Amino acid sequence: MTKTLSKNELESWLGNILKERTLVAPRCVDDLTLFLPVASVDEIAFDCGNTDLSPKDWFFPRTEALFTAEHKDADIEITPAVIEQETVIFGIRPCDAKGIAILDGPYLADPADSLWAQHRAKTTMIGLSCSSPAPQCFCTSMGGAPFDSSSVDILLTEVNDGYIVDAVTEKGEKLLQGVELKESDVSGSVPSCDTQVPAEGITEAVKRAFDDPYWGRLADRCLHCNICAYVCPTCYCFDIRDRTEGGKIERLRTWESCQSKGFTKIAGGHDPRVDKGSRLRQRFCHKLLYFPEQFGPLGCVGCGRCVVSCPVNIDIREIISDVQELGAKVGEGSS
Amino acid sequence: MREAADMVDVNPFVPFPATLSRVVDLTPDVKLFTLELDNPEDGFDYKPGQFGFVSAYGAGEAPFGLTSVAYRKEGLQFAIRSVGTVTYALHQLEPGAKVGVRGPFGNFFPMDDYRGRRIIIIGGGIGFAPLRPVITTVLDNRKDYAEVVIINGARTPQDLCFATEFDDWAKAPNTKVELTVDAGDDNWKGRTALIPDVVADLKPSPENAIAVICGPPIMIRFTLQGLKKLGFGDDQIVTTLEGKMKCGLGKCFRCNVGEKYVCRDGPVFTFEQISGFIEQF
């Protein structure tokens, strides 16, 4: 038996949530669908598919003060940032939720990033299964699934006249308190991702293909626009700088991308990744080699956003296939 | 893994409050800054080779190798060259100014393992700063170590860091100081040669020796090769690397060389480790 909720009941539940907390959900703004706070349930784009930007902004904002500093007489007074607001994110897809969950690896490793930990603690994620994956999606190749409930607090799965409700965590159960769920024997049909990417063994293959001229050729067309990093649910590199306004100093953390020129340039002028090839290789080595070596999972969840967004069609799915072939060749050569 | 909710208390980006107690010109563009923690109970116990982030509030913060030794309790010292936004702002500060400091970060030179051995210390430019604690430790415990050769190089005679200390170093028993510049002037009596050439000329014996190197990457690379030619083993050559860094905590992923973080796995690496790097530093 499963528990279900009708569309109307879901809307009234979400309506109640937004009276007490910030409710973030997919909203259509101009021609984009983005995770934004909603003032009423009518604003939610229920059938939008995956959003144009991932919801990582709600855990790792594109700009966030780590602390503020103010001159007080002869001293400097520091006020660390505190996240007060309880937030519920509705409509997060399993791939995006997994993206957030795997970033616990670097961010909660000792010493924990307290802001990330606060965002995580204050946020409840209501996931939505993907009933019709998009053509660019390949989550099943990256260890995910359209119905994967492992990284959300509650998973909703759309069925004919409503949603199957799966309370995954304690946090999720708490949010569902007082909501009357119906017992039902319906089950969601499990869709599949059409695109299969040969990700198995990619970590070894990318290591073998590290010195191949492939990366330089591929990077020739890269415009280093950084869009791949900005849309990615698992890109987490950042910059830190100060902003001063009216005597108040904010130490800001902002998104940064390894594709930026000068990302690795040090004070004396030396830059170990001065060419685009080594920068592009860094992006894919981070996701497919360094991240899994350090934290276990691959640093890509198969959401396909970079595939759609790249203006010059640099496609991680093709790269994984190419690198598997290259790695196999290098493997033969060295044996 | 602990729950996120249990990890919200300590913000690792908040620096310890500190006061600039002393500022000394080392070269036309390098100053030696001494910081005292405003709350000594914050603690900042560090070892030769470790680094910290110094904040000039309003301009930002940047990582610098500690150039003092903790046991002397002479404050936290950093030799800083004015080259960017933060370093320029630091250079405008005077004693009494409030700053911030985070750290100590990274690994360190295992000075205890070097006891009884000959030590060749090779530094170029501002890269000499993180090697000064090695010299201080060795000279303060002179009988614990064998022969010491110090090679310090810079662009011009005026750019040699810690010039006022050269005589003291040279006076220590069984200790040799070799100075070299890229371009000398009329008063220059030392060498005019690149550091790798000085190493080739001096031919330090690898027997029972450890070579400790820091400087610009190109200098490090050629010096490593030179030492290899002289017969130094991969575990006898130690260097400290620099990387663009924002956090020092293994999170911002800017200082990685392949799968290694300079901030957390380094900055001190043996040639053996460097040879295993997938990526060029």
What pLDDT digit, counting tens, does each position of A305-330 carry?
999 999 999 999 999 999 999 988 88
B14, B15, B242: residue with CB nearest A266:
B242
**ipTM exceeding the 0.85 mark:** yes
* Nearest alpha-carbon partner for B122 in B154, B155, B75: B154
Q: Is residue A334's pLDDT more than 70?
A: no
Distance from CA of A31 to the nearest CA of B (A): 32
Predicted confidence band of residue A132 (pLDDT cuts 50, 70, 90): confident
Chain B: residue whose CA lies nearest to A259: B254
CA-to-CA separations, A208 to A142, A148, A199, A314, in angstroms, rounded? 20, 32, 15, 21
Tell me the chain B residues in contact with residue A286 when contact means C-beta distances shorter than 8 Å: 253, 256
Paired sense of beta strands B237-240 and B209-214, if any: parallel
Predicted confidence band of residue B76 (pLDDT cuts 50, 70, 90): very high
Percentage above 90 pLDDT, chain B? 92
Residue B201 is predicted with a pLDDT of 96
Cα radius of gyration (chain A): 22
**Residue whose tokens read 């399993």:** A94
- Cα–Cα distance for residue pair A286/A111, rounded to 1 Å: 21
Distance from CA of B100 to the nearest CA of A (A): 9
Predicted confidence band of residue B278 (pLDDT cuts 50, 70, 90): confident
Residue A193 is predicted with a pLDDT of 75
* Nearest alpha-carbon partner for A1 in A269, A185, A206: A185
- Cα–Cα distance for residue pair B135/B149, rounded to 1 Å: 10
Least confident of A158-172, A190-204, B41-55: A190-204
Residue A327 is predicted with a pLDDT of 87
Q: Is residue A335's pLDDT more than 50?
A: no
Chain A: residue whose CA lies nearest to B13: A66
Residue A1 is predicted with a pLDDT of 75
A104, A114, A290: residue with CB nearest B256:
A290
Q: Is the CB of B252 less than 8 angstroms away from the CB of A285?
A: no
Mean pLDDT, range B11-32, rounded to an integer: 97
Cis amide bond preceding A233, omega within 30: no
Residue A133 is predicted with a pLDDT of 86
Q: If you average pLDDT over every residue of chain A, what do you get?
A: 93
CA-to-CA separations, B249 to A28, A285, B148, in angstroms, rounded? 38, 20, 34
Least confident of A41-50, A84-93, B112-121, B136-145: A41-50
Q: Is the CB of B258 less than 8 angstroms away from the CB of A76?
A: no
Predicted confidence band of residue B13 (pLDDT cuts 50, 70, 90): very high
Q: Is the CB of A76 less than 8 angstroms away from the CB of B17?
A: yes
Contact A78, A67 (CB under 8 A): yes
B1, B62, B246: residue with CB nearest A238:
B246
Residue B4 is predicted with a pLDDT of 75
**Residue whose tokens read 């279900």:** A4
Residue A47 is predicted with a pLDDT of 81
Candidate ranges A39-48, B95-104, B251-260; pick with highest mean pLDDT: B95-104
Backbone angles phi, psi at B207, to 5 degrees: -65, 120
Helix (H) or strand (E) holding A171: helix A170-175
Q: Is residue A108's pLDDT more than 60?
A: yes
Tell me the chain B residues in contact with residue A238 when contact means C-beta distances shorter than 8 Å: 246-247, 251-252
Predicted confidence band of residue B2 (pLDDT cuts 50, 70, 90): low
Cα radius of gyration (chain B): 19
Contacts of A240 (CB under 8 A, 6+ apart): A66, A251, A252, A253, A254, B13, B60, B61, B246, B247, B252
Mean pLDDT, range A264-273, rounded to an integer: 90
Helices (H) and strands (E) in chain A — how many of each? Answer: 11, 12
Backbone angles phi, psi at B153, to 5 degrees: -125, 155
Strand partners, B61: B55
Lookup: tokens for A164: 């199957």
Predicted confidence band of residue A48 (pLDDT cuts 50, 70, 90): confident
Distance from CA of A121 to the nearest CA of B (A): 5
Q: Is residue B246's pLDDT more than 80?
A: yes
* Nearest alpha-carbon partner for A74 in B7, B97, B266: B97
Burial annotation A295-312 (CB, 10 A radius, 16+ → b, else e): eebbbbbbbbbbbbbbee
Predicted confidence band of residue A184 (pLDDT cuts 50, 70, 90): confident
- Cα–Cα distance for residue pair B64/B84, rounded to 1 Å: 13
Tell me the chain A residues in contact with residue B257 when contact means C-beta distances shorter than 8 Å: 272
Q: Is residue B3's pLDDT more than 80?
A: no
Contact B136, B72 (CB under 8 A): yes
Percentage above 70 pLDDT, chain B? 99
Contact A144, A102 (CB under 8 A): no
Predicted confidence band of residue B221 (pLDDT cuts 50, 70, 90): very high
